[in-house]
Chain A
Amino acid sequence: MAGLDLSILPQQLVNGLLLGSIYALIALGYTMVYGVLRLINFAHGEVFMLGAYAALFTSWALGFGPESRGQPPQSSALYLVIMLLVSMGACALIGALIELLAYRPMRNQPRIASLITAIGVSLFIQYAGGLFLPQSPPPAISEAVSPYRGVMTAVLKPPPADLAATIDEIRAREQAAKSLAEAAKAENKPEAKGLEEEYRSIQRDLRAKVGEADSQTVRITVPHGQLIMLVTTLVLMAVLRHIVLKTKTGRAMRAVSHDFDSAALMGVNVGRVVTLTFIIGSALAGAGAMMYATVLRTPLSPFLGVTPGIKAFVAAVLGGIGNIPGAVLGGLLMGVVETLVVWAGFSGFKDAVAFVVLIIVLLFRPGGLLGSSKVEKV
C-alpha cells in the first residue's frame, strides 16, 4: 500500500455519499416493513433486483435495446422519468404481491416462520430469475438513454501558483514549437525532423508538469447523472417524510408500528397499512434500483440484489431498525465507510466492513444509532 492519497479523499467522501444514498433508499424499505411487521423482509433485495430489470426492459422498449437496429432514439430526460416510474411501479406491485401471497398467510404465526418464508421467497425470486431473466452476457442499460453525460467539477484547492505559472510558460513554448514544427513540415525543410522532436520533448515536459499539478489539486468531480440521482433520492425521502408525518396513512403507519394489536383495535385497517408499507418501501427500492442500473451502469444479474440488499439491511439495523431517519443515516454511513475502506487499500474487505461497523456500534448502542433499546418492563 503506497500511502494514502489525501488529495482524493474529498472525492471519495462524495462517492461514498452517492453510493450511500442508494443504500439508504433500500434500507428504508427494510426498516418500514420491520417497523410495522417486525419482519426482516429478506426478499427486499430481490425486489431491488427486479426493479433493475424493469428499468432495463423499459429502456429496451424505448428503443435502447441490444438488438435495436439503426440509430437509437435521441436521449431524453423523459425516458429516465418513464424508467424510474416503471421501476417503482413494478417493484410496488411485486412487493404487494409478495406480502399478499407469502407474508399475509403467516401473520399469526411465530415470527421465525415468516422469516423462513422470506428466505424462501428470496431464493425463489433469485433462481426463478436465473431461469427467465437475461443474464449472459450481463446486460446493462445503454448509456445512450441519459442526456446527462457531462461532469461537474469543483476545485477545492488549486495547484500552487508557481507551478501554474510554469505550466503556462511551458504551454506557450509548446504552442510555439508546434507551429514551428508544423511550418517546417509543410515546407518540407530538412530541420523539420529536429523541430518535431523538440516539440515532442516540450510536450512530454508539459504532460509531466500537468500531471504534477493534477496530483496537487484537490477537486471533486461528479457526473451530472449522479447529481440528479442524489437530488431524486432526497426528493423521494422528503416525500416519504411527508407521507409518514403529515398524512392520515402515515399516522396509521406509525400507529401500527408502535403497537400492531392496539392499532387494529382502534380501527386502523391494519391490512391496508401493511400493504401500503410494502408498496412504498418497494417503490423506493425500485427507484434505487433504476438509478443503480442507469447511473452507476451496473451489469445486471438475478443475484444483483443480494449484496446491496444485505448492506442496506445492515444499514437499517445500524440506524436502529424501524427508525426511518436511522435508515437514511445508516445507509449514508455505510456508503461512506465502504468507499473509505476501498480508498485505504483494503478493497478485499469492503463487504466485511459493513458488519464490522455494525458490530462495533451495536456493542455500544444495542438499539442502533437512532433506535432506542427498549427496556423490558418487569
Chain B
Amino acid sequence: MKFWVVRLVSLAVAFGFAFGADAWIAGSMPSAYRLAVLAGLFVTLAVSLNLINGITGQFSIGHAAFYMVGAYTTGFVSNQFYAQQPLGQPMWLIAMALLGAAASAVAGLVVGLPSLRLRGDYLAIVTLGFGEILRIVTQNISQIGGSYGMNVKPFGGPVQTLWVVLLLAFLCVSICRNLLKTAHGLPFVAVRDDEVASSAMGVRVSSVKVTAFVIGSAFAGAAGAMLAHAETFISPDMFRMDVSFIILTMVVLGGTGSITGSVVAAVVLFGIPEYLRTLQDPITKLPLAVPGQALLGSLVAVGLTVWGLREVSRRVHGNVQNRAVAYGGTLLGGAVVAWLFSVVFGLIPQIAALKFDVNMLRMVIFALTLIVLMLLRPQGIFGHHEFSWRWLGGLLGRRPREATA
C-alpha cells in the first residue's frame, strides 16, 4: 500500500515538475527554453549511454547514431503523416518519442549483435563506424534532405517539447536506477566485471549485452525524436562523431557507472559552451573579447594550477582545514600566475594586439575543462557513487580518505 502511495506521489511530482517547468520557462525565458530542452536531451543521452558503457561495460562510442535514427525516422513520419492522424499534438509527440525509441532499438539490436563477438576497442571502433556509415548514407538520400538537412515542421512551427523531454529524462534515470536497485541489475555489472565468470554463474552474457544496447539506444532514439521536433530542423551534421564523443565524455567525466554523475556531467558539459556563447561585454554588449595576453597567461596558469592541485591532492593529508587551505592557496597562486604572465605577455606587441571572441574560444575552453577535470579526477566527478542523502552527508562532514582505486 505504502509502495503505491509513494509511487503515485513521485509520478505526480515528476509530471508536475515537467509541465510546471515547461510553462514557467516558456513564459518567462524564451531564450532559455531551447537550452533547457537540449540539456534534458543530453541528460537522457548520457544516462542511456551510461547503461551501455558504464554499467554493462560495452565500449560503445557511436551513440549519436541512435540519436540520429530516432530524429530522422520520426521527422520523416511526422512530415508525412501528422496531417492525417487524429491524435492531438501532445499525444503525437509522445507517439513520436515511442516511434523513435522503437526505430533506434532496432538499430541498437543491429549494433549489439557484433558486440557479442567483439571486445573493447574493436567494439568501440565498430560502433563509431556504424554511426559514420548511417550518417553518410543519410547524407546521400535526397528524399530526406541529404546533406542539406530536413525541416520537421508538421505543426507549422515550433512546439513546446520541454515537458516530454523532461519526462523522458526522468524515465531514463529512473529505469537505470531501478535496474541497479534490483537484483536484475547485477548481471549487467557482472558482465562488465568478468564475462567468463558471469557465464559460469548462468548469466546469459549475450542477452544481457544486447538488452543493454537495445534499452540504451531506445532512449537515445526517443531523445532524437524530441530533438527533431524541438529544433524543427535536422541535418546529418548534427550527428557527427563529435557528438558521440561528447556524450561519452559526459559518462566518463561523471564517473563511469554513476547515474548521478552522468546527469550532472551532462548538464555541466552542455552548459559550459552554451554559457560561454552568451557571455557579453558588460559595457559594449558585444560578445566578450579576451585580450591575447590574458588568454596565454591563463593557459600557462591553468597548466601550473592543475599540476599544483594534483600535487596537493597527493601530498597534503590531514584535516579539512589544512586541505582547504592548500587547495585554496593553489588556486590563488594560479590566479596570481595568470596575472603575472598576462603582464609579461602584454609587453609583446604582437600578442597584445590579439583579441579573441569568447564565442570562438568556447570549444578551446571546453576541451581544456575536459583535460583538466580528467587529470584532476580520472575516476570522474562522482566515481562510482550515486547521489543519496547519506552520501551527501558523508561528503560534507568528515570523511575517511578515499581509497584510490
Contact = CB atoms under 8 A, between A and B. Distances in A.
Q: Do A and B bind each other?
A: yes
A117 to B, nearest CB: 5
Contact of A131 (B122, B132, B356): B356
Contacts of B371: 102, 117, 120-121, 124
Contact of B379 (A113, A127, A314, A367): A113
Interface in B361-390: 361, 363-364, 366-368, 370-371, 374-375, 378-379
Interface in B132-154: 132-133, 136-137, 139-140
Contacts of B129: 314, 354-356, 358-359
B374 A106 contact: yes
B193 interface: no
A349 to B, nearest CB: 6
Contacts of B360: 130-131
B367 A359 contact: no
A376 B196 contact: yes
Contacts of A34: 121
B126 interface: yes
Contact of B132 (A116, A348, A352, A368): A352
B58 interface: no
Given A127-B364, A128-B364, A358-B129, A117 B121 contact: no
Q: Is the interface of A mostly helix, strand, loop or mixed?
A: helix
A183 B387 CA distance: 98
Contacts of A349: 136-137, 140
B336 to A, nearest CB: 22
Contact of B137 (A130, A314, A352): A352
B158 interface: no
Interface string B208-242: 00000000000000000000000000000000011
Contacts of B137: 349, 352
Interface residues of B, number: 44
A131 B370 contact: no
Contact of A109 (B140, B241, B249, B378): B378
B361 A362 contact: no
Contacts of A351: 132, 136
B121 A116 contact: no
A110 interface: yes
B374 A116 contact: yes
Nearest to A40: B121
Contacts of A128: 364, 367
B196 A120 contact: no
B147 to A, nearest CB: 9
A155 interface: no
Contacts of B242: 123
A362 B132 contact: no
Interface string A103-140: 00110011011011101111110111011000000000
A317 B256 contact: no
A94 B373 CA distance: 22
B114 interface: yes
Contacts of A359: 114, 126, 129-130, 133
Interface in A168-225: none
Nearest to B241: A310
A321 interface: yes
A356 B374 contact: no
A266 interface: no
Contact of B256 (A112, A126, A363): A112
Contact of A123 (B124, B253, B366): B366
Q: Is the interface of B mostly helix, strand, loop or mixed?
A: helix
A147 interface: no
B52 to A, nearest CB: 13
Contact of A362 (B118, B378, B379): B118
B252 interface: yes
B110 to A, nearest CB: 11
A366 interface: yes
A314 B361 contact: no
B303 interface: yes
A365 B129 CA distance: 16
Nearest to B303: A101
Interface string B49-84: 000000000010000000000000000000000000
A101 B375 CA distance: 10
B340 interface: no
Contact of B370 (A116, A313, A362): A116
A106 B375 contact: yes
B385 to A, nearest CB: 16
A378 interface: yes
A355 B256 contact: no
Contacts of A122: 367
Nearest to A101: B303
A40 B120 CA distance: 11
A116 B117 contact: no
B245 interface: yes
B256 A314 contact: no
Contacts of A317: 121-122, 125
Contacts of B132: 310, 351-352, 355
Interface string B344-371: 0000000000001000110110111011
Contacts of B118: 362, 366
A321 B118 CA distance: 13
B310 interface: yes
Contacts of A355: 128-130, 132-133
B38 interface: no
Contacts of A130: 360, 363
Given A116-B248, A131-B356, A362 B114 contact: yes
B372 to A, nearest CB: 9
A124 B375 contact: no
A65 B13 CA distance: 66
Interface in A65-124: 101-102, 105-106, 109-110, 112-113, 115-117, 119-124
A112 B123 CA distance: 14
B245 A119 contact: yes
Contacts of B122: 317, 321, 362, 366-368
A356 B132 CA distance: 10
Interface of A: 34, 38, 40, 101-102, 105-106, 109-110, 112-113, 115-117, 119-124, 126-128, 130-131, 310, 313-314, 317, 321, 348-349, 351-352, 354-356, 358-359, 362-363, 366-368, 376, 378
Given A116-B374, A354-B129, A363-B117, 15 more contacts: A102-B375, A112-B252, A113-B379, A116-B370, A117-B375, A122-B367, A123-B245, A123-B363, A124-B368, A127-B363, A321-B121, A351-B132, A358-B126, A363-B114, A378-B196
- List the 4 closest A-B pairs by CB distance, nearest first: A355-B129, A120-B370, A124-B367, A109-B378
26 contacts: A38-B121, A105-B310, A106-B378, A109-B378, A113-B378, A113-B379, A117-B374, A119-B245, A119-B249, A120-B374, A128-B364, A130-B363, A131-B364, A310-B241, A349-B140, A352-B133, A352-B137, A355-B132, A359-B114, A359-B126, A359-B133, A362-B118, A362-B122, A366-B118, A366-B122, A376-B196
